[in-house]
Each structure stands twice: as C-alpha cells, then as structure tokens.
Amino acid sequence: MSLILIALLPFLGAFLPPLLIRAGRNAAAWSAGLTTLLALVGLLTHAPEVFSGQVVHTRIEWVPGLGLNANFFLDGLGLLFAGLILGIGLLIIVYARFYLSRQDPMGQFYAYLLMFQGAMVGIVLSDNILLLLVFWELTSLSSFLLIGFWKHLPEGRQGARMALTVTGMGGLAMIAGLLILGQIAGSYDLSVILTQKDVIQASPHYLAALILILIGAFAKSAQFPFHFWLPHAMAAPTPVSAYLHSATMVKAGLFLMARLWPVLAGTEAWFYIVATTGLVTMVLGAKIALFKDDLKALLAFSTVSHLGLITMLLGFGTKIAAVTAVFHIINHATFKAALFMTAGIIDHETGTRDIKRLGGLRKLMPVTFAMAALASLSMAGIPPLNGFLSKEMMLEEAAHTVWWHSHYILPALVVIGASFSAAYSFRLIAHTFLGPERSDYPAHPHDPGPGLWLPPALLVSLVVLIGLFSSVIVGPLVAIASQAVIGDAKLPYYSLKIWHGFTPALYMSAFATVAGLFLLWQHKALERLWNAAPRPEAKTIFDAGVGVVSRLSDRITATLHDGALTRYAAIFTVFTLVMGLYAYFTGTLPAAQSAMTDIDALAVVGWVCLVVSASCVVVFHRNRLLALVVIGVTGLMVSLLFNYFSAPDLALTQISVEVVTIILLLLALNFMPKTTPVASTLQRRARDLVIAGTAGLGVGGLAYAILRGTFSQPSISEFHLANSYKGGGGTNVVNVILVDFRGFDTFGEIIVLGIAAVVIFALTEAILASNVRAKLLNRKPDRQRAGDAHPLMMVVVTRVMMPIALMVGVYIFFRGHNLPGGGFIAGLVVAIAFVMQYMASGFAWTAARQTFPYHGVIGSGVLIAAATGMGAWFNDLPFLTSAFGYVYLPGLDKFELATAALFDLGVFLAVSGAVLLALESLARYAWQPGIEPEHPMDINPERDDPPLDNTEKAEV
C-alpha cells in the first residue's frame, strides 16, 4: 500500500462514522476500527523492507521550484511511531465504543479521532518539512475538537482553548525554525536535511533554528514551561486522554527531536537546552503528580515527567542515550495508555476519580486492580516489567553524564525524580485499591465487561512480555528505530535485559524505590507542607497573560480597525509610501536607458480627456449618477489607450466590462440615494489630498523609472511570443496565455466570478424575504421619471440587434484563439445583448421569454472548464495542459481543433451566467410575479402604486 494512502486513509475514513451512526453505534465503531486496521495492515506490509534496512519512499512533485513536494518516507523511526499511533488507536476505538454514553455523539467522536490519527500518521511519514508543518497544525486543530468534545463542561472548553493556544503558538515558532533549517540545508526534504549535519551546525543561523524548533517541540510535548496545558486537557473523555496524551500527540514533539537528532544534536547548545529542560520537567512533573488526588491529573503530571525523561535522554546527545529514549517511548506508551484506560474504568464504574473517595477496590474490581498494579509498577520501574529496563538504562546514562562540570548534580536530580515517580506510582496502587472497603462510593464498584478491560489488558500483557522477553519482542524494532535516530549504520552496544550486574544504575534504582516507599509512608505530612507552601499557579499566570494580551489586542483593534475604510486606505498608503521612500534613498536607481516615445496630437487629446475625467470623479463624486457617467468616460479612454498601444484584446475586454458594470451600477443606484453626504472634515480631506497626491506622484515616478530603465533578465513576453503558436496552437498571444499558459489562473477567476454572482443572489434572497422588500416596493422615487418606461424605438432597435449581437458574440468566441476575442469577451458581449432586452422591454417581459437558469449556466461553465483540464490527466499530463491538431475535410480547407476551445467555452458560460445572474438579482428588487405590474419600470410616480396585499405589506 502506498504511504500516501496510509496517511490519507484515516482522513477518508473520518467521513464514515457520522454517516453510519444512523445505523447504530456499532456501525460507527466498526467503520472507524476497520479504517484504522486497514491503515495498520498497509503499514505492516512495508515492515519487512524496513527491518531489512531499506527506506520506503513515495514522492509526488507539487511545486518543486518552491520545494513544495508531497514526499513521504518510512524508516525505522517512522515505523515505530506509526505503529504506536495506529495500534493503540485501534484499541482506543474499541475502548471508546463501550466507554461513551448514549448521549455522546459517537459518530462525531470517531470522526475527530480519525482526523487526529491521520494528522499524526502524516507527521511521522512526511519527508518534506512543509508537509510536516501542515500535519502538525492539523493535530492542534483536531486535538482541540477532541479535548473540548464534552462541550457542556466549562473545564473541557477551557482545556481545549489552552491546548490550542500553547501548541499553536509553539507551532508558529517551529514553522520559522524549520523554514530556516530548510534554507540552511538547501532543501525542505527531510531525507536531504538529515545528510547536512556539518553544514547546519556550521551555519550562523543554527542556534536560531534550534531554539525555534525546540519551542514548538517543547510546547507540543508539554515540557517546562509549557507543561501546564496537558493536565487541563484531562477534562476530555478518557479515550482521548489515553490516546492523545500518552501515546500520540504529546509524543509528536519527541518524534521531531528524535527525527532531527542526527543534525541538531551533539552541540553544547543542544545539550544544555534539551537535557536541562527535560531534567527540570521530569523532576517537577513527578513532584506535582505525587500530590494530585484526581487519578487523571496524577497520570497527566506523570506523563509530563516521563516526557521530560525522554527529552533529557535525547538531550544527552550520545548514541546509547538515544537508544534508551527510543526504548522508553515504547514502554511508556504501553503502561501509560493502559493506566489511563484503567482510570477511565474506575471513573466509569465508581462514579469518581478522586483518590480520597476511593480505596479498597482490590476485591471489588480484581481485574482492574491487576491491570493497574502491573502498569503502575512498570511506571515505577520495578522488575521484571518493561519500565524497569528503560529506567535502568536511563540511570546508567545519567550516572556518566557531566552537567555544569559536575559528575553529581545531574545523577542526584535524576534519582530525586525517579523517587517521586516511584512514590506516585505506589500511591496510585495503595490509595486506590488497597485498604478497607468503603461504604460511600458514589456507585457500586465492579469490573466492567470485556469491551472496557480487554484493550488495557492487551497493553498490560505487553508490559509483562516486553519486560521478560524484550530482546525477542521489541529488540529488532528498537534497533531499526534507534538506527534512524542516530543516523549511523553502526549501533552502539546495548543489552535489553533485566540483570546487568551490580552497577551504579542498580544502586540508584534501589534507592529511588526505597525513597518512593518512604515518600508514600509520609504522604499526609508532606501533603500538608505542599498545600501550605506558596507556589506559582501556572493556570493563573496563563489566564492573566491571556487577559493582558486580549486587552491589548482590543485596544489596538479599536484604534486601527474602527470600520472606516478611509483609515485603512490611509494606513496602507502611508506605509507603502514610507517603504518606497526607504527603498529609493537606500537603493540605487540606474540611469535611464530607453528613449522617450514621440507624442502625437491624438495621444495628447486622449491623455487630457483621461486626466479631466479622472479629476471630475474626485470633484463630483458626491453626485453618484454624474460620477458614474464620468467613470464610464474614464473606462472608455483607458480602452482607447489599450488600442492605441496595440492591445485590442485588452481594449475589447475593457469596453465590454465598462458597459456591463455601468449598467449594473445604474440599476443599483436606482435603490440608493443619488448623492453622498459630507462625512469628513476639511482637515481630513486636506490630509487625504496630501496622501493621495504623494502616492500618485510615487506611482508615476515608479512607472517612469520602469519604462525608462532596462531589465537584466529577458521579459517573459519573449517566451510567450515564441511559444504561443507552437505550444498553444494560437497566434493570439493574450488568449493563449489565458487558456493555456495561465489557464489555472483563469479557471480560478471564473470560479470567483461565479461565487460573486451567487453571493449577490443570496443577499437578494435574504433581503426579499424581509420587510425591506415591502419598503422597496412602496418607495416613492426621489426624482421625476419619464412617462414611457419602455420607448418603442428602443424596444424595436434592441430586438433587431439581439440576433446580430449574439452572432457577433459567437464570431468573437471562435476567432479568439488567433485574433482578438475569446470566451471572456464573447461572454460579456452576449450578456450585453440580454441586458439590452432587460433595459428596453423590462425585466418581466424578458424573464418570461428566457428559460435557462443562470445558476446552471455558471455551473456548466465551471464544470466544462474543469473537465477540459482533467482530460489532460488521461495523457499523464498536468491539469489544464491543452492539445491541438489540424483536420482536413473534403471540400474544406484545413482547420484547427484545440482543447482550449472547450476551456474557453467554460469561460464564456461562466462569465455570461454570472453577469446575468447579478442583473436578475438586482432587478428583482423592483419586480415580483403576482404582486407588481408586468413591467416594473411602468410604475409612474404621478399615479398611485398598486397596493400590496396584507401579507406583503410592511411598516414603512
């Protein structure tokens, strides 16, 4: 199975549970489980290749010039993490089916879970850091939905917001760091970056990239000082906690550090930043966990501590420490996911997670007790369980690590952290399951059915089996994953066994275990001291920080974004001017190279008309009708200017657009005041005059410099001129650019044009369904109108011209590939032909005689253009690659057939449909069948308007 399909399967499967939930909860669970199982099987089909030392690659070039490639690769590290994500995810799906109540929207839950699963698989399989960043942010978004799944709980909503804020901000820093890293390495592909260690570490930007990347990794993996978000995320349902916060999401940061270990590790900066952060997190998280009474809170801080342990190991920078980190990632995923699920069972069956309300559950819940005890002892590092093996290896590395020129500080702190870890593990067992039975449980405790205890039981069995037979069960996986981390063909010597003799690590472990028992014995006294001691509360600091930022943002927004378009325009223009002046005074402006063009009398006349019309728009802009007429004159002069400089296509397009827009604006003005009131002071108008005048002079100077200067690189127009005919089959370069060279741009533009028309239609529908419609229909015109709304001469002329205009549109369409014209211009010409009918004969008369829906015309145009583009795929060519050829028919000269003509047909339909839909939408303000007269423009201000019936009248 392709790696891309493995990564996409969870996203595709996310559509199934919300659909199948109507068939029952089991159907939704089965669909999610089978999707995950299929992805897991697809992953395992590549396992033999990976275990043989190969790296599986799947490459898709997207925009290779920018380094945007959808590349995936699978090595030992990717296999380990993808296996954990999909394997534990499958168990969580089963567990969630029996944990969630009937009131919980299970289809929605599984959709969110699969989205998160796909994002995590995408992270660990990505071979391109830009693609990795996309998946990274998707994990933040999907985890936000999962953490806040119980929307009725305020703590759930707050935990989701906190997680999104912290991990999202860390993600922004990481984006900058990875972009710097890609620039240093000269590639955004991880497989290339991982071979550039010397180049990266020698770069002056290494430290900046390192710090920014580590901020993102630390935030995602809840490392100090970002550790506070993880415990608050425990308000999520227990399946979410077991999946996101023990086996997957929080390990994304660990994965990134492990993935980039070959090129970032080995420096003093890496050692002191990563190892110190991990050490502080390990000790701090373990100490806080000891005094938490909520089972999930205890496990959350224990997760923080163990994540710190793994981070510290990666920070040591030695190969054996990296191997130990990989081994503990496996062990932690097994016992911690099992513990979260057992905590969920206790909460599910007893009605509480408060340790002080529990105790004595050993006999009441023997299966749950056995699972929790084994997993907790593994977390404490008690032999012969798997947690003991990796803890011994960690202590051995700590014993030989020098920190700040001392051989004792780091080992001592590690032992303290291990002691607290043992203490909270023992407390979980003793205070939850041991002691006398109570009579005040919120619910009667009992073991659940196999649907709830079987998934954690499978994980606990791995805890025992890995501890006893680690070399057989996970030895090969640890080897290939470690090899991927250290980036070396030769692994250091290590042994995954219980007994290593009497070593410093054994003594340290024994001391930590005894100290943990002592701390448990003295827990009540220590708890009183803990509660009495003053300490900063991370949540309070976070809330205060968010409040400060929110108030500052409100103040800035209220100052800069007050809704005044003039202010936005002034800020933008002034900023642009400042940057332009800075560039002018600090840069170099080459001397003029090109000669001035001769000016003839016709050009001077046109220039004067253009200046006068543009000036009139400014002077008379308060008279909207007059300003619109002058704008039309300006557009006409621009069209003539295009034609003067031998650009007939642009001239035709400009004049057609001018006609359509002027008519639509005239129709809109019919329902608006004809004058604009004075809304600004004289001082503000003077300020705007200075800004606008300076900006105009700047644009003029820039245009002059460009026109008189020369370019070091040849103009792209030379390429278009040379390849228009032989590459696109047309001699009209402009049209070939639109439908061939830049066809994707044109395709996007017709979609946007269609959306704009549909939005106008939707707004019209909303207004016509309100009281505004009645006001519009009962309004009195503010000016005297002509008595004859539809002059006979105009009606006759437009009906005679209709077939001629349509024929001209067809002619322009067919000649567009070789002569001025094309689908866009033809669409406007045909639209103008219909607009003329609306103007002359009225909307009702015209609408009654045309039967095609404009929505369908727009949709047909977009679909035809898309189908034309997709046709290239059948020839293994990129989307919208055109083809052309010549055909000979008896009795006719040879003629050309080009796929671009079909694309142009789509443009023609989309443009004409959009214009006519906008026209129809605006015209409906004055006409509704069955209520208004047949010709809306027949309404005469000198006689009474036909009254609305009672159901249509509104207060005016």
pLDDT tens digits for 375-403? 999 999 999 999 999 999 999 999 988 88
pLDDT at 896: 72
Q: Is the pLDDT of residue 268 over 80?
A: yes
Cα–Cα nearest to 532, from 231, 291, 280, 224: 291
Average pLDDT over residues 930-939: 40
Q: What angle do CA 919, 640, 734 make, to 5 degrees?
A: 75
Question: Which residue's entry shows tokens 């701390």?
Answer: 519
User: In this structure, what token pair is assigned to residue 525?
Assistant: 């006294």
For residues 919 and 922, give the distance between their C-alpha atoms in angstroms, rounded to a whole number: 5
Containing 896, the helix (H) or strand (E) segment is strand 895-898
Q: What angle do CA 380, 385, 389 make, to 5 degrees?
A: 80
Percent of the chain with pLDDT over 70: 93
Q: Is the pLDDT of residue 930 over 70?
A: no
Beta bridge partners of 884: 898
Which of 78-87, 103-112, 804-813, 885-894 is the least confident region?
885-894
Helices (H), 45-153: 47-51, 76-99, 106-125, 129-147
pLDDT tens readout for residues 250-261: 889 999 999 999
Q: Is the pLDDT of residue 627 over 50?
A: yes
Q: How confident is the model at residue 641 (pLDDT cuts 50, 70, 90)?
A: confident
Torsion of CA 653, 656, 662, 664, to 10 degrees: -100
Q: How confident is the model at residue 712 (pLDDT cuts 50, 70, 90)?
A: low
Rg (CA), the chain: 36
Q: What is the DSSP string of 228-260?
A: THHHHGGGS-HHHHHHHTTTSTHHHHHHHHHHT
For residues 365 and 238, give the distance between their C-alpha atoms in angstroms, rounded to a whole number: 19
Q: How confident is the model at residue 939 (pLDDT cuts 50, 70, 90)?
A: very low
- Burial of 350-369, coded b for 16+ CB within 10 Å and e otherwise, reads bebbebeebbbbbebbebbb
Q: How confident is the model at residue 515 (pLDDT cuts 50, 70, 90)?
A: very high
pLDDT tens readout for residues 740-780: 888 888 999 999 999 999 998 888 888 777 777 667 666 66
Q: How confident is the model at residue 953 (pLDDT cuts 50, 70, 90)?
A: very low
| 8 Å CB contact between 354 and 320 | no
- Residue 523 one-letter amino acid: H
Q: Is the pLDDT of residue 590 over 80?
A: no
Q: Is the pLDDT of residue 952 over 60?
A: no
| 8 Å CB contact between 3 and 72 | yes
Q: How confident is the model at residue 521 (pLDDT cuts 50, 70, 90)?
A: very high
Cα–Cα nearest to 213, from 163, 255, 153: 255
Q: Is the pLDDT of residue 49 over 90?
A: yes
Residue 187's CB is within 10 A of a number of other CB atoms, namely 18
pLDDT at 29: 93
Sequence ranges of the domains in the chain = 266-521, 731-956
| 8 Å CB contact between 332 and 417 | no
Average pLDDT over residues 704-715: 76
Sequence-ordered list of residues with C-beta below 8 angstroms from that of 306, at least 6 positions apart, any chain: 282, 285, 328, 332, 336, 379, 421
Query: How far does Cα 786 stand from its chain's mean position?
Result: 56
pLDDT at 786: 64
Question: Which residue's entry shows tokens 């503000």?
Answer: 684
For residues 326 and 478, give the distance between their C-alpha atoms in angstroms, rounded to a whole number: 6
44 versus 891: the higher-pLDDT residue is: 44
747 versus 558: the higher-pLDDT residue is: 747
User: In this structure, what token pair is assigned to residue 613?
Assistant: 């019309």
- Burial of 467-506, coded b for 16+ CB within 10 Å and e otherwise, reads beebeebbeebbbbbbbbbbeeeebeebebeeeeeeeebe
Backbone angles phi, psi at 58, to 5 degrees: -135, 120
For residues 170 and 812, give the distance between their C-alpha atoms in angstroms, rounded to a whole number: 56
Sequence-ordered list of residues with C-beta below 8 angstroms from that of 18, at least 6 positions apart, any chain: 28, 107, 108, 111
69 versus 224: the higher-pLDDT residue is: 224
Q: How confident is the model at residue 724 (pLDDT cuts 50, 70, 90)?
A: confident
| 8 Å CB contact between 486 and 126 | no
Q: Is the pLDDT of residue 51 over 60?
A: yes
pLDDT at 542: 82
pLDDT at 776: 66
User: In this structure, what token pair is assigned to residue 938?
Assistant: 């027949």
pLDDT at 852: 77
| 8 Å CB contact between 617 and 631 | yes
pLDDT at 950: 38
Computed over every residue of the chain, the mean pLDDT equals: 86
- Residue 75 one-letter amino acid: D
Average pLDDT over residues 693-707: 88
- Residue 163 one-letter amino acid: A
For residues 811 and 814, give the distance between their C-alpha atoms in angstroms, rounded to a whole number: 5
Q: What angle do CA 569, 571, 574 make, to 5 degrees?
A: 100
Q: How confident is the model at residue 737 (pLDDT cuts 50, 70, 90)?
A: confident
Calculate the alpha carbon distances from 95 to 120, 452, 778 in Å.
20, 5, 64
313 versus 643: the higher-pLDDT residue is: 313
pLDDT tens readout for residues 832-891: 888 888 778 877 777 777 777 888 899 999 999 999 888 888 888 888 888 887 777 777
Q: What is the DSSP string of 560-584?
A: H-SS-HHHHHHHHHHHHHHHHHHHH
| 8 Å CB contact between 880 and 799 | no
Average pLDDT over residues 84-92: 94
Containing 353, the helix (H) or strand (E) segment is none
pLDDT at 783: 65
77 versus 660: the higher-pLDDT residue is: 77
For residues 842 and 937, give the distance between their C-alpha atoms in angstroms, rounded to a whole number: 7
User: In this structure, what token pair is assigned to residue 850?
Assistant: 């045309």
For residues 161 and 430, give the distance between their C-alpha atoms in angstroms, rounded to a whole number: 35
User: In this structure, what token pair is assigned to residue 725?
Assistant: 């005919």
Q: Is the pLDDT of residue 938 over 50?
A: no
Q: Is the pLDDT of residue 366 over 70?
A: yes
pLDDT at 511: 94
pLDDT tens readout for residues 411-467: 999 999 999 999 999 999 999 999 888 888 888 888 898 989 999 999 999 999 999
Q: How confident is the model at residue 785 (pLDDT cuts 50, 70, 90)?
A: low
User: Computed from CA positions of residues 915, 918, 921, 922, in that sequence, does the dihedral angle turn out positive or negative?
Assistant: negative
pLDDT tens readout for residues 5-20: 999 999 999 999 999 9
